[in-house]
Chains A and B, each alone.
Chain A
Amino acid sequence: MSDPSIPLPPVEKARSPLSEAWEMFRRNHSAMAGLVILTFIVLGAIFGPMLYPTDPFDMVWAPFSPPGEEGYLLGTDYLGRDLMAQIIHGARVTLIIGLSAAIVTIVIGVTIGALAGFYRGWVEEVLMRITEFFQVLPTLLFSMVIVALFGATLPMITFAIGIVSWTAVARITRAEFLRIRELEYVTASRAAGAPSGKLMFKVILPNAAPPIIVQSALMVGSAILFEAGLSFLGLTDPNIVSWGQIIGSNRQYILESGYTVTIPGLAIFVTVLAISLVGDGLNDALNPKLRQR
Chain B
Amino acid sequence: MMNGMKSFLAAAAVSALSLSAATAQETPQSGGTLVVVVPGGTPRVLNPAVQSGVATGLPGTQLFASPLRYDADWTPQPYLAKSWEVAEDGLSVTLHLQENATFHDGEPITSEDVAFSVDVIKEYHPFKSMFAPVTSVDTPDEHTAVLNLAHPHPALMLAMSGQLMAIIPKHIYGDGQDPKNHPRNNEDVVGSGPFKLVEFKPGEHIILERYEGYWEEGLPYLDRIVGRIILDSSARAIALQNGEVHMSTFENEPTVVSRLMQAEGVNVTSQGYGGIGPIDWLAMNTTRGPLQDVKVRQAIAYAVDKNFILKAVMRGTATEAKTGVHPDSPLYNPDVPAYEVDLDKANALLDEAGYPMDGGKRFALTMELPGFPGYKAQTEYVRNALGKVGIEVTLRAHPDFPSWAKAMGTMDFDMSMDSVYNWGDPVIGVNRTYMSDNIGKGVWSNTQGYANARVDALLAEAAQEQDADKRKALYAEFQEIVAEDVPIYFINAVPMHTIYSDKVQNPPMGIWASSSPMDKVWLKE
Whether the Cβ atoms of A152 and B399 lie closer than 8 Å is: yes
Are A79 and B255 neighbours in the complex by a CB distance under 8 Å? no
The contact of A78 among B253, B312, B394, by CB within 8 Å, is B312
Contact bitstring A136-152, B, C-beta under 8 A = 1, else 0: 00000000000111011
CB-nearest residue of chain A relative to B369?
A238
Instruction: Give the residue of A57, A63, A238 whose beta carbon is less than 8 angstroms from that of B312.
Output: A63
- Whether B383 and A57, one on each chain, are in contact in the complex, defined by CB atoms closer than 8 angstroms, is yes
**In B389-429, which residues have CB < 8 Å from any A CB?**
394-395, 397, 399-400
Contact A148 B255 (CB under 8 A): no
Q: Is the CB of A253 within 8 A of B255?
A: yes
Q: Among A235, A236, A239, find the residue whose CB has the most chain B CB atoms closer than 10 A.
A: A239
Q: Looking across the interface, which residue of chain A has its beta carbon closest to that of B372?
A: A234
Q: Shortest CB–CB separation between residue A289 and chain B, in angstroms?
A: 48
Q: Which of B153-161, B373-381, B495-503 contacts A (4 or more CB under 8 A)?
A: B373-381
Q: Is the CB of A78 within 8 A of B397?
A: no
Interface membership of chain B positions 336-379, coded 1 if the CB is closer than 8 angstroms to chain A and 0 otherwise:
00000000000000000000000000000000010100001101
Q: Which residue of B lies closest to A153 (CB)?
A: B397
A252 within 8 A of B: yes
CA distance A57 to B387 in the complex (A): 10
Interface check B139, CB cutoff 8 A: no
Shortest CB-to-CB span from B251 to chain A, Å, is 14
Q: Please determine whether A252 and B253 come into contact, CB atoms closer than 8 angstroms.
A: yes
Quick check: is B464 within 8 A (CB to CB) of the other chain? no
CA distance A253 to B259 in the complex (A): 11
Bound together, the chains give a CA A255 to CA B371 distance in angstroms of 23
- A78 to B255 CA separation, bound complex (whole angstroms): 11
A-side contacts of B384, CB under 8 Å: 57-59, 79
In the complex, are the beta carbons of A79 and B397 less than 8 A apart? no
Which residues 241-273 of B sit at the A interface, judged by CB distance below 8 A? 253, 255, 259
- The docked-state distance in angstroms from the alpha carbon of A62 to that of B312 is 8
Distance in angstroms between the alpha carbons of A148 and B371 in the assembled complex:
10
Q: Cβ of A59 and Cβ of B381 under 8 Å apart?
A: yes
Q: Which residues of B sit under 8 angstroms from A57, Cβ to Cβ?
A: 380, 383-384, 387
Q: Which of B259, B381, B395, B399 sits near A79, CB closer than 8 Å?
A: B381
Bound complex: CA of A9 vs CA of B79, how far in Å?
110
Residues on the A chain within 8 Å of B383, using CB: 57
Asked if B37 is at the interface (CB within 8 A of a chain A CB), the reply is: no
- Known contacts A238-B395, A253-B255; is-contact A148 B400 (Cβ 8 Å): yes
Q: Are B399 and A78 touching (Cβ within 8 A)? A: no
Contact residues in A for B397 (Cβ distance below 8 Å): 151-152, 234, 236-238
Q: A229 near B: Cβ within 8 Å?
A: no
Are A148 and B381 in contact, CB atoms less than 8 angstroms apart?
Answer: no
- Give A144 to B253 CA distance when docked, in angstroms: 25
With an 8 A cutoff between CB atoms, is A12 at the interface? Answer: no
Q: How far is the CB of B314 from chain A (nearest CB, A)?
A: 11
| Complexed CA–CA distance, A201 and B230 (Å) | 56
> What 1/0 mask marks residues of chain A from 52 to 66 whose CB sits below 8 Å from any chain B CB?
000001110011000
Residues of chain A in range 106-148 having any CB-CB distance to chain B below 8 Å: 147-148
How many angstroms between the C-alpha atoms of A235 and B398 in the bound complex? Answer: 9
Mark out the residues of chain B between 270 and 321 whose CB falls within 8 Å of any chain A CB in the assembled complex.
312-313
Majority secondary structure of chain B interface residues (helix, strand, loop or mixed): helix
State the majority secondary structure of interface residues on A: loop
Q: How far is the CB of B381 from chain A (nearest CB, A)?
A: 6
A80 on interface, CB distance cutoff 8 Å: yes
For residue A249, CB closer than 8 A to chain B, the reply is yes
Interface pair B394/A239, CB less than 8 Å apart: yes
Chain B residue total in the interface (Cβ 8 A): 20
Q: Which residue of A lies closest to B237 (CB)?
A: A255
A256–B255 touching, CB < 8 Å: yes
Q: State the CA gap A237–B396 with chains docked (Å).
A: 8
Instruction: State A58–B387 Cα separation when bound (angstroms).
Output: 9
Known: A57-B383, A255-B259. A78 touches B313 (CB 8 A): yes
* Known contacts A57-B384, A78-B312, A239 near B255 by CB under 8 Å: no
Chain A residues whose CB sits within 8 angstroms of the CB of B379 once the complex forms: 238
- Tell me whether B312 and A239 are in contact (CB under 8 A): no
Near B by CB (< 8 A), chain A positions 228-261 give 234-239, 249, 252-253, 255-256
Q: Once the chains bind, are A148 and B399 in contact (CB under 8 Å)?
A: yes
> Which B residues are in CB contact (< 8 Å) with A149?
399
In the complex, which residues of chain B have a beta carbon less than 8 angstroms from the beta carbon of A239? Answer: 394-395
List residues of chain A with CB within 8 A of the CB of B400: 148
Q: How many Å from the CB of A260 to the closest CB on chain B?
A: 12
* Cα–Cα, bound, A59→B379 (Å): 13
Q: Is the CB of A147 within 8 A of B399?
A: yes
Separation of A80 and B305 alpha carbons in the complex (Å)? 14
Q: Chain B contacts of A252 at CB under 8 A?
A: 253, 255
Q: Closest Cβ of chain B: how far from A151's Cβ, in Å? A: 8
CB of A143, distance to nearest CB on chain B (Å): 12
With both beta carbons as reference points, the residue of chain A lying nearest to B371 in the complex is identified as: A234
The answer on a CB contact under 8 Å between A79 and B394 is no
Closest A residue to B258 by beta carbon equals: A256
Chain A residues with Cβ below 8 Å from B369 are: 238
CB-CB nearest in chain B for A80: B312
B255–A255 touching, CB < 8 Å: yes
Q: How far is the CB of A106 from chain B (nearest CB, A)?
A: 28
Please provide the chain B residues from 108 to 166 with a CB less than 8 Å away from any CB of chain A in the complex.
none
Q: Which residue of B lies closest to A57 (CB)?
A: B384
B380 lies within 8 A of A238 (CB)? yes
Query: CA A253 – CA B369 in complex, angstroms?
Result: 20
Measured between alpha carbons, how far is A238 from B383 in the docked complex, in Å? 11
> Once bound together, how far apart are the Cα atoms of A57 and B369, in whole Å?
16
Point out the residues of chain B lying under 8 angstroms from A79, CB to CB: 312-313, 377, 380-381, 384
| A59 to B384 Cα, complex, angstroms | 7
- A169–B255 CA distance with the chains assembled, in angstroms: 44
User: With the chains together, A114 CA to B381 CA distance in Å?
Assistant: 50
Interface centre among B377, B384, B397 (most CB of A within 10 A): B397
**B298 → A minimal CB distance (Å):** 22
Please, which residue of chain A has its CB at the minimum distance from the CB of B312? A63
* Contacting residues, chain B, for A62 (C-beta < 8 A): 312
Q: A235–B400 Cα gap in the complex (Å)?
A: 10
19 A-B contacts (beta carbon < 8 Å): A57-B387, A59-B384, A63-B312, A78-B377, A79-B312, A79-B313, A79-B384, A147-B399, A148-B399, A234-B371, A234-B399, A238-B376, A238-B379, A238-B380, A239-B394, A239-B395, A252-B253, A255-B255, A256-B255
Listed in ascending order, the chain A residues whose CB lies under 8 Å from chain B are 57-59, 62-63, 78-80, 147-149, 151-152, 234-239, 249, 252-253, 255-256
Query: Taking beta carbons and an 8 Å cutoff, which residues of B are in contact with A?
Result: 253, 255, 259, 312-313, 369, 371, 376-377, 379-381, 383-384, 387, 394-395, 397, 399-400
Beyond known contacts A57-B383, A78-B312, A152-B397: 9 more, CB 8 A cutoff: A59-B384, A63-B312, A79-B312, A79-B377, A79-B381, A148-B400, A238-B369, A249-B377, A255-B255
